[in-house]
Amino acid sequence: MKRIVLLSCAALAASGAWAAATPEAASAALWRGLSHPPGVAADTGALSRLFHPDSVVIGARYRGDAPTLSVDKGSDFLDRLRQARPTGFYECEVARDVKRHDRFATVYSVVESRTDPKAAKADFVGVNSIQLHLGEDGWKIVSLYYHVGQPGTPVPLEGGRTGACLGEDA
């Protein structure tokens, strides 16, 4: 029976119909899909399977001292990730809190971002809120809100440790 389930999962992944089996898996897949070495684009194939077609991505950050907010369709967000970048971009999820009710889940996630995965200090730390819906093909991101605070503003790691990415020992 295990073998049939594994083969079915492999067939779904190969067909492009794969979606996350749990909210935790969706969160991990998001950060894994965004990460990439220099000269390579994000894994937009995996990310497009993860985002609901009507998803929205909201981002808040500072440009100098001015706070900015952007709101995009998920498809527009993914389109910008298709281009290879000269520098690497590595996401390390260090804390996660999942709340789930029926077919709805929300994930609070703290992520350290680095251009060099071996760097002791993150280039920046983001606090993220991911809302997911469980459809027939698994958990899909319906909205992602990310917030990058002002440099020097501490981010509570909720029990996580800087540089200790969740799931690395899994």
CATH of the domain at 68: 3.10.450.50
Q: Which domain holds residue 138?
A: 19-148
21-62 residue pLDDT tens = 999 999 999 999 999 999 999 999 999 999 999 999 999 999
The pLDDT value given to residue 168: 66
Residue 67 has pLDDT above 80, yes or no: yes
- Give me the number of domains the chain comprises: 1
Burial, 26: exposed, middle or buried (Cβ in 10 Å; 0-12, 13-18, 19+)? Answer: buried
Burial, 47: exposed, middle or buried (Cβ in 10 Å; 0-12, 13-18, 19+)? Answer: buried
H or E element in which residue 44 lies: helix 44-50
Instruction: Report, as an integer, the average pLDDT of 57-71.
Output: 95
Question: For residue 43, is it within any domain?
Answer: yes
Question: For residue 154, is it within any domain?
Answer: no
Question: For residue 156, is it within any domain?
Answer: no
Cα(75)–Cα(106) distance, rounded to whole angstroms?
A: 20
* C-beta of residue 27 within 8 angstroms of C-beta of residue 167: no
Task: Say what the pTM is.
Answer: 0.86
Q: In what order do the strands lie in the sheet with 51-63?
A: 66-73, 51-63, 138-148, 124-135, 104-114, 90-101
Question: For residue 162, is it within any domain?
Answer: no
Question: For residue 37, is it within any domain?
Answer: yes
Question: For residue 126, is it within any domain?
Answer: yes
120-141 residue pLDDT tens = 999 999 999 999 999 999 999 9
Cα(93)–Cα(84) distance, rounded to whole angstroms?
A: 22
The pLDDT value given to residue 121: 93
Question: For residue 40, is it within any domain?
Answer: yes
Question: For residue 159, is it within any domain?
Answer: no
Give 149-158 contacts, CB < 8 A, sequence gap 24+. 149/62, 149/125, 150/62, 150/65, 151/124, 155/110, 155/125, 155/127, 156/110, 157/94, 157/95, 157/110, 158/95, 158/97, 158/108, 158/110
CB atoms closer than 10 angstroms to residue 93: 23
Instruction: Report, as an integer, the average pLDDT of 62-82.
Output: 96
Q: What is the tally of helices (H) and strands (E) in the chain?
A: 4, 6
DSSP class of 22:
S
Local confidence band at 15 (pLDDT 50, 70, 90 cut-offs): very low
Q: Which residue has the tokens 């990460």?
A: 35
